[in-house]
Structure 1
Amino acid sequence: MDSFFFNITDTSYKITKSYENKEEHITRVDISNGIVFFDIYLNSQKEQSIHVKNLDRMVAIPVTKKGSFKIEDHIGKKCFDVKNDSISIFTSSRQDITLTINETKETEIFVLFIADFIFKRYLSSSQSEVINFLYNNVQEEVSCELIDTQPIDALSLYIIDKIINTKSDTHMNSIRCEHNVLEFMIHRFDLLDMIDDELSDDEICISRSSKAILLRSFASPPTIEILAHLCATNETSLKKIFKKVYKTTIYGYVQKLRLEKANLLLKEQLLNIGEIAKEVGYKHQGHFSKLFYEHYGVYPKDLLKK
């Protein structure tokens, strides 16, 4: 059984067209041994399939910009529907899967595959890190497991565009593209909250209750005093537990939620930057733009359509 990843021989950046018809294409790009992506664009309303059968430990991140597809796991006898406007994370330690792109008017899909030895480079001493969790997961016998699904955001589309269009560069393609892939991984994995297994039941209950309240009201959140009352605890305990679980302060988490929501609104292209700032709880556009840049490394204006 061949390896999915070791497809690089005399070049460090390899482009393979498995299907091409005018502007339609299914393109595989091997960035390096260990990182592969598929760039798919179809508009002929014909069903297309990609079969993957290997013994590789990997994480797959499909991004469905338009259309939808399904993943059939022939080992685990499971089927996953990957819907429009979504980014998912799958793990697998051995594969016999078929990706079937559904018949639709227009399909635009990006799928990133990352080998476990890439993750191994970045393992942390903290087992609650997302990288550690995903790496440990694929060391088990997992044929195909869905870890998380989120809606597509503007920054993800911005980075994916950089990954796909790296091929237009003629100098150090592999390094440039891998840099962009790492940027995408950092952003995507930052959206996952990892809960420490050593937390008590009370700590889990308080942290989840406070998070649920903040998710509903981050644009105009309650004071810590009121939030503690709503979670049946005191301010000191709430702040201590929240920091322990989510590795940030309550204020920091509110900022994170506001910026994530702004990122989604930027993708929709319906509001200007000032309107988005007010929508997520910021009175001043300049302050919002500064915080957005500090968090994501790009200004909101750069994510809007030119």
Structure 2
Amino acid sequence: MKYLTITETEALYQEYLETGKIISYSEDFETFFKIQAEQELGITAYDRTIQLRPGLKIKISGGKAKYTFAREIQHHASMPLILAFQLAGTYRVWTEGIGNDYYSEKRGENYLFFLPGTKEIEELPTGENLERIRIIVEPDIFRNFSSSQIDLMPTELKTLISNDSRQIFHRNVGSITPAMQQALQQIINCPYQGIARQIYLESKALELISLQLIQLTQSQSGIISSSSSGCLQPDDIERIHQAKSVLEANLENPPSLIELARKVQLNDYKLKRGFKEVFGTTTFGYLQKIRMERGKNLLAERMLTVAGVAQTVGYKSPSRFCDAFKKHFGITPRNYRMSLNF
């Protein structure tokens, strides 16, 4: 297992910035970061931070390790409150002051934690795609509500907000509900640009905060919501996640709906209905989205021509790719690549 200390991580970060193994750029209120270190560390990783307003941001991140990889993390003393939604993969974490052993953050679960000034060790498993969305919130945002509303909040939050407590905590809130999953996919697939995009994404972040508060309150009261379980069985949801992975691995030659259903051993109707329920979009809509995101990343890397990018993400015709890219992002691939120079 490869293990990196905090000092080693910081040194590698500077080295990779200088050698171009880290790509970082900003667009309006969003910052994009990507690291390609397969030969050196056996990992690829990406991070997208969306600054919505002071005290509220969204962070979308993920990656994959060729072999088990662990790194130390030192959280800043001013680290805010984090709502975490694990969309893909499972990894182990050890946190100073939270028990004596490792715990797992698992696919399909959501978490709430406040860990300022703590040290963590994250252990990434071999060959597993990881993806998570985090809502990062300063406690001051909650202090705008009346004291009577704060009193109704879950214990950890009430203590943090009312008393300005610095007591650390990490809590597994429960399974990601269909309503949460829909909001998460709407964040990933946001079709808007400019201020409309910022307002839309902020509304989704606030929606996720609300949904997690509801789940926390229900669990403290011993209430199990029928709407949180959905009509899909756990095995169905597992197979739907497998279908998502199949699409991601076959951008150039994706299977039809019937072929995809066969691969994951679901009937096509259940896959079609279940995929929309879990991810908030159709299989074709998701395929289109990941093609566009992959194409955007490849354009930023500047290793391929526009025609080469089109072919890599499954378009036989460069013009069709250009039309789809402009429809999705509101800018042509050529103009997008040129905009990165400014």
Q: The TM-score by the shorter chain falls in which range?
A: 0.5 to 0.7
Contact 1:68–1:81 under 8 Å retained in 2: yes
Counterparts of 2:82 and 2:278, CA distance in 1: 30
Deviates more, 1:79-88 or 1:182-191: 79-88
Q: Residue 59 of structure 1 aligns with which residue?
A: 81
Give the structure 2 partner of residue 156 of structure 1: 180
Q: Is 2:143 aligned against 1:146? A: no
Q: Which amino acid aligns with 2:132?
A: I
Q: Residues 182 and 127 of structure 1: is their aligned pair in 2 closer, same or farther, counting only changes over 3 Å?
A: closer
Once residues 90 and 279 of structure 2 are traced to their aligned partners in structure 1, the CA distance between those partners, rounded to angstroms, is 28
Q: Map Cα deviations across residues 47-86 of structure 1 (whole Å, 9 max, x no partner).
A: 3647352122532222222211233323557543212221
Asked whether the 8 Å contact 2:80–2:116 carries over to 1, the reply is yes
Q: 1:303 Cα shift?
A: 4.1
- Return the letter of the residue paired with 2:140: F
In structure 1, list runs of 5 or more residues that go unmatched. 1-9, 197-206, 216-256, 277-298
Tell me how far apart the structure 2 counterparts of residues 96 and 159 of structure 1 sit (CA, whole Å).
Answer: 31
* Corresponding residue SS for 1:56: coil
Given that residues 54 and 96 in structure 1 are in contact (C-alpha distance below 8 angstroms), is that contact kept between their aligned partners in structure 2? no
Over residues 109-147 of structure 1, what are the superposed CA-to-partner deviations in whole Å (9 max), with x where a residue is unaligned? 22332221222233551444227851523632323x123
Aligned residue in 1 for 2:263: none
Q: Please name the residue that 2:230 is paired with.
A: 262
Distance 1:300 1:141, change over 3 A: closer
User: 1:68: which partner in 2?
Assistant: 90
- Matched residues in 2 for 1:179 and 1:98: separation? 32
TM (norm. structure 2) is 0.50
Say if 2:55 is the partner of 1:39. no
Assess if the C-alpha contact under 8 Å between 2:92 and 2:103 holds in 1. Answer: yes
Matching residue of 2:287: none
SS of equivalent residue, structure 1 residue 129: coil
Post-superposition offset of 1:189: 1.5
Deviations 1:76-103 (A, max 9, x none): 5754321222111112344433444333
Q: Match for 2:115 among 68, 80, 92?
A: 92
2:43 maps to 1:27: no
2:4 aligned with 1:14 = no
Q: Is the 8 A contact 1:86 1:152 kept in 2?
A: yes
Task: Label 1:169 to 1:82 Cα distance change in 2 as closer, same or farther (>3 A).
Answer: same
> Given residue 153 of structure 1, which amino acid in structure 2 is its aligned partner?
T
1:91 and 1:137 in contact (8 A); partners too: no
Distance in structure 2 (CA, Å) of the matches to 1:42 and 1:25: 4
The separation in 1 between residues aligned to 2:46 and 2:61, in whole angstroms, is 5
From 93, 108, 125, the equivalent of 1:102 is 125
Q: Are residues 1:180 and 2:204 paired? A: yes
8 Å Cα contact 2:64/2:127 also seen in 1: yes
Task: Write the distance in 2 (CA, Å) between the matches of 1:52 and 1:109.
Answer: 19
Output the amino acid matched with 2:59.
F
Aligned-partner residue type, residue 230 of structure 2:
A
Query: Secondary structure of the residue that 2:167 maps to in structure 1?
Result: coil
* Contact persistence 1:152–1:264 (CA under 8 A): no
Amino acid at match of 1:173: R
Aligned length: 216
- Secondary structure in 1 aligned to 2:75? strand
After superposition, the C-alpha distances for 1:171-198 in whole angstroms (9 at most, x for unaligned) are: 34332221110011111211123699xx
In the TM superposition, what is the alpha-carbon distance from 1:159 to its structure 2 partner? 0.8
Structure 1, residues 230-253: CA drift from partner, whole Å, max 9, x if none? xxxxxxxxxxxxxxxxxxxxxxxx
In structure 1, how many angstroms separate the alpha carbons of the residues matched to 2:27 and 2:158? 27
Q: Higher relative CO (CA 8 A, sep ≥ 6), structure 1 or 2?
A: 1
Letter matched to residue 80 of structure 1:
Y
Deviates more, 1:150-159 or 1:259-268: 259-268
Q: 1:99 to 1:18 in 2, by over 3 A?
A: farther
The aligned amino acid for 1:122 is: F
Shift of the 300–194 alpha-carbon distance from structure 1 to 2, 3 Å rule, reads closer
Alignment of 1:274-285 (within 5 A): none
Report Cα offsets for 1:138-177 as digits up to 9, x if no partner: 632323x123331223222221122234486233433222
